[in-house]
Structure 1
Amino acid sequence: MPTEYSNYVDGKWTESRTGNVFETSNPAHPGETVGVYQQSSEADAEAAVEAAAAAAPEWANTPGPARGKILTETASILSDRADELTETLVREEGKTKPEASGEVQRAIDIFAYYGAKAADVGGTVKAPSGRDSRLYTVNEPVGVAALITPWNYPIAIPAWKLAPALAAGNAVVTKPASLAPAVAIGIVEALESAGLPDGVVNLVTGPGSSVGSTFVTHEAVDAVSFTGSTKVGNTVYGQAAPDQKRVQLELGGKNPAIVMPSADVDEAVEIAATGAFGVTGQACTATSRAIVHEDVYDEFVEGVVSYGEGLSIGDGLEGADMGPHVSESELEGTLDYVDAGRREGATLETGGERADAGEGYFVEPTIFSDVSSEMRIAQEEIFGPVLAVIPVSDFDEAVAVANDVEYGLSASIVTNDHREANRFVDEIEAGVVKINEKTTGLELHVPFGGMKASSSETYREQGDAGLDFFTISKTVYDNY
């Protein structure tokens, strides 16, 4: 039997006022219903915001260490439920079990990290110009934060928004993506068990057009943090702008991995392929383009094709190397890009078809060679396991091609030339820059965010930067 889930508003698990529900299914076995959720309305979203606004002053006045204790306990509860949450994530989103387990552990680590950091949300002391005075800053929560999260990292991204928001003393309303809400609800269950006061966190499931838009536009919401597509993110930004709300957007990517002649080609293949095909390519930081020097191009193509063809595809709970797309529409979108690559003259080296791995939304790892930078498969975010391999003649051309897209999220270079590595750091247009590492994978204690169309370029997430977005500073001049 599928699990039935409720909204969480003002400390109570409640049904939507619409009386309607929606279901999620297992992308490896589409006939299997995983969860039943509330199909909420504007009225449900408004009730959540009102509860958060009422709870915000008391939570803001709760000492930081006390807030941190609740977050630390939340991490412990999530750890106790890790196996259950991992299986739920696999069944609802489609990741392999190791990928899902790693994501659940990431959420646990984030709550533990911000549980400790909550004691640091204070301010700074500066030296005044005159005698008999003090000059310092005080950091305060912004108030009510609206968090809208995607389906591709359905527990990690809610965690890295919720934990700093709560550590900083904000009340929260949140809407998880409708394709995979279960593990985000698991976070709220853990927060409730840890003793979070009523109304401080409120979760409502349902359409972005009703729930999400109400959160973004409600006059009692002070800040909006959104992760998702660039198209939707631009809409969110436009909705929040009239009220001058604080906005944080993390959006799409078209991430390059440059491979230079000094690189170990086997290592370069491993870096590019794991970045391209991990989590079925359904990551904003996934490697979408391999920009390879002509001296090692043929060897690289041969290696990466062998890697892709060696991956097993199937149910993530049954030991597969790569799981399904999250939905039929995502699968169709990837196959449409494969057709576009063929039409534009790229060489399909391997893959490009629906995989024969059962009834689910499976696709073969796909590699195109002879790709030029103006092709759609080299310009547009695909969000699937498709790697475009582009030949270049030197370092300058490689960086120019890497920057020749509207996005600027993550980028890597594989090289043993120290000068090339440092020039890459200076010249690449990306918020996350990696040397001899895959474009995916993030440390939780350093800032994360993109440039250009990958981000609002306002505030970064994670680490100390994650707290910056959720606090506002007062400067105090104390002449005694």
Structure 2
Amino acid sequence: MATATSPIVDSRLGAAASAFVTSKHQMYIDGKFTSASAGKTFPVYNPATGEEICQVPEGDHVDVDRAVRAARRAFDGGAWPAMSPSKRGQLLYRLADLLEQHTDEFAELESLDNGKPVSIARVADVPLAVDLFRYMSGWATKTMGSTIPLSAGNDFLSYTVREPIGVVAQIIPWNFPLLMAAWKLGPALAVGCTVVLKLAEQTPLTGLRLAQLIEEAGFPAGVVNVLTGFGEACGAPLAAHDLVDKVAFTGSTEVGKLIAKAATGNLKKVTLELGGKSPAIIFPDADMDAAIAGAASAIFFNQGQCCCAGSRLFAHESVFDQVVSGVSDIAGKIKMGEGLDPSTELGPLVSDEQFARVNGFLKSGREQGAKFVAGGKEHGGRGYFVAPTVMSGVKPGMKVVDEEIFGPVVVAQSFASDADLDRLAAQANDSIYGLAASVWTRDISAAHKMARRIKAGTVWVNCHNVFDAALPFGGYKQSGWGREMGAEVLNNYTEVKAVTVKL
């Protein structure tokens, strides 16, 4: 692949995005934009070309300590703990307004940095982030406890209050950089926590630009701190820091386990949104056109770099060939290209590392006897492109079936006519993961029965990849701990205190 060169600014960027890319990039600590303490920087690459975009600070444990102590001071004293819930909500709503005003700029930055089609970022990533901040702004005034009658009688008044958990370390992934920042920041700020947000080293640009909007919105110094750096030197000391009260992480299950171990020092609270190997199950009575298109979208959306991607496709034996042929036909017609090209439908993988990983799975599939019905190869002469891939002839035990690929690769298996719902659910649940699933059928009874049997945090019926700020999202088994979004996420960032008064 291409190696680093002098930074190149894409001519398709608008004036605002171009100005940001070519500016000096700094972390945001204690209300100030600052370079790394050691003065180091590292390059950010355009995944469509492999060329360098810019340099950002390479933070380390010293910067982590600066940021955590700033967040600690902001939580323990000063303007933030004294601020009313209503005012916190207003700040979040103001941030949402500012982000919405810069939709095109953020969509272009996300596309340049991550590789995803700018057309998708403009209608999905940015609007969903805006909606999340607005939704969470309303919860700022609605986080409350309850009164509790005691069995001991009426001589006591007992009630609970919900209080912010404290300083929160948040570590986000590279697949939806802006949206994941919003998912993490919104609820933590709504309930009154302070935050140190560590951006993915592959995709730091929208997070750094968001820090500028956070300052413009008027958040007090130290309430939000934004770091750039690598996992070992920046993420690990953040997760282990004794002044951090809670860690929220989104990423791979492998790293999630390391986060959980790092948190044991002071027994800080941990929530994890991790990997998946989600099934998409097509019954013979489904609307085949909708199911085939939905199954294709479930795996090829965002280049398959979704933790809940429908990467295991199950179809009834009577429609299996039709489904596989239909999804493969869609795969062959997807317009691949650079994300900033408005006609692009599927962009590159995010990095050379991810490119090598996905190609390693393709090699494994061939070696273990999978049949490639579509794709299965690199695309183009530069950048990190992998053609949308459909495999059949697979079975449990193969790496491509059991492990998360995190690319535009789906493995298709049939289920027999005599398979009852319990047997089918057992097939779908045959995974260490339990993040999501989709069921495609016109039989509403079968749909609800399957939803009950599937061990996953989200089950979609006749759809896939539907998200809303009001819907909780998270996984069973090794897909994580806790939930993002909805009212459920507030539990991640609050402690419950019981108060009893003898009257």
Which bin holds the TM-score, normalised by the shorter protein?
Answer: over 0.9
How far apart in 2 are the matches of 1:188 and 1:238? 29
| Amino acid across the alignment from 1:343 | E
Per the TM alignment, residue 355 of structure 1 is displaced from its structure 2 partner at its CA by 1.0
Instruction: Give 1:97-246 correspondences, 5 Å limit.
Output: 97-101=118-122, 102-128=124-150, 130-131=153-154, 133-246=156-269
For 2:329, the equivalent position in structure 1 comes to 306
Picking from 284, 292, 301, the partner of 1:269 is 292
| Amino acid across the alignment from 2:114 | E
Per the TM alignment, residue 268 of structure 1 is displaced from its structure 2 partner at its CA by 1.2
Residue segments in structure 1 that go unaligned for 5+ positions in a row: none
The yes-or-no answer on 1:375 pairing with 2:398 is yes
Listed one character per residue, the Cα deviations across residues 171-196 of structure 1 (whole Å, up to 9, x for unaligned) are 11110000001111222211111110
Per the TM alignment, residue 305 of structure 1 is displaced from its structure 2 partner at its CA by 1.1
8 Å contact 2:242–2:265 — kept in the other structure?
A: no
Give the stretch that moved more between structures: 205-214 or 147-156.
205-214
Partner-residue secondary structure (3-state), 1:112? helix
Per the TM alignment, residue 345 of structure 1 is displaced from its structure 2 partner at its CA by 1.2
For 2:437, the equivalent position in structure 1 comes to 411
| Amino acid across the alignment from 2:128 | R
Picking from 23, 39, 48, the partner of 1:19 is 39
| Amino acid across the alignment from 1:98 | S
Give the stretch that moved more between structures: 327-336 or 149-158.
327-336
Per the TM alignment, residue 57 of structure 1 is displaced from its structure 2 partner at its CA by 2.4
Per the TM alignment, residue 415 of structure 1 is displaced from its structure 2 partner at its CA by 1.1
| Amino acid across the alignment from 1:372 | K
Per the TM alignment, residue 476 of structure 1 is displaced from its structure 2 partner at its CA by 1.6
How far apart in 2 are the matches of 1:463 and 1:104? 18
Per the TM alignment, residue 128 of structure 1 is displaced from its structure 2 partner at its CA by 4.9
For 2:384, the equivalent position in structure 1 comes to 361
- Number of aligned positions between the proteins: 475
Give the stretch that moved more between structures: 128-137 or 344-353.
128-137
Per the TM alignment, residue 133 of structure 1 is displaced from its structure 2 partner at its CA by 4.8
| Amino acid across the alignment from 1:182 | L
Give the stretch that moved more between structures: 183-192 or 233-242.
183-192
Per the TM alignment, residue 98 of structure 1 is displaced from its structure 2 partner at its CA by 2.4
Per the TM alignment, residue 29 of structure 1 is displaced from its structure 2 partner at its CA by 2.0
Q: How large is the Cα RMSD of the aligned pairs?
A: 1.4
Partner-residue secondary structure (3-state), 1:155? helix
How far apart in 1 are the matches of 2:178 and 2:116? 12
How far apart in 2 are the matches of 1:419 and 1:107? 35
8 Å contact 1:373–1:401 — kept in the other structure?
A: no
8 Å contact 1:355–1:364 — kept in the other structure?
A: yes
Picking from 4, 23, 26, the partner of 1:6 is 26
Per the TM alignment, residue 381 of structure 1 is displaced from its structure 2 partner at its CA by 0.2
For 1:40, the equivalent position in structure 2 comes to 59
8 Å contact 1:291–1:398 — kept in the other structure?
A: no
8 Å contact 1:159–1:187 — kept in the other structure?
A: no
Listed one character per residue, the Cα deviations across residues 232-281 of structure 1 (whole Å, up to 9, x for unaligned) are 11001011023211000111000100111111222111111001101000
Partner-residue secondary structure (3-state), 1:241? coil
Instruction: Give 1:77-116 correspondences, 5 Å limit.
Output: 77-101=98-122, 102-116=124-138
For 1:424, the equivalent position in structure 2 comes to 450
Partner-residue secondary structure (3-state), 2:270? strand
Listed one character per residue, the Cα deviations across residues 458-478 of structure 1 (whole Å, up to 9, x for unaligned) are x21111111111010111223
Partner-residue secondary structure (3-state), 2:141? helix
| Amino acid across the alignment from 1:8 | Y
How far apart in 2 are the matches of 1:313 and 1:362? 8
For 2:473, the equivalent position in structure 1 comes to 448
How far apart in 2 are the matches of 1:396 and 1:425? 11
Picking from 483, 487, 496, the partner of 1:464 is 487
Picking from 340, 350, 369, the partner of 2:364 is 340
| Amino acid across the alignment from 1:328 | D
How far apart in 2 are the matches of 1:150 and 1:455? 14
Percent identity over the alignment is: 38
TM-score (norm. length: structure 1): 0.96
8 Å contact 1:3–1:34 — kept in the other structure?
A: no
8 Å contact 2:422–2:453 — kept in the other structure?
A: no
Picking from 309, 316, 319, the partner of 1:293 is 316
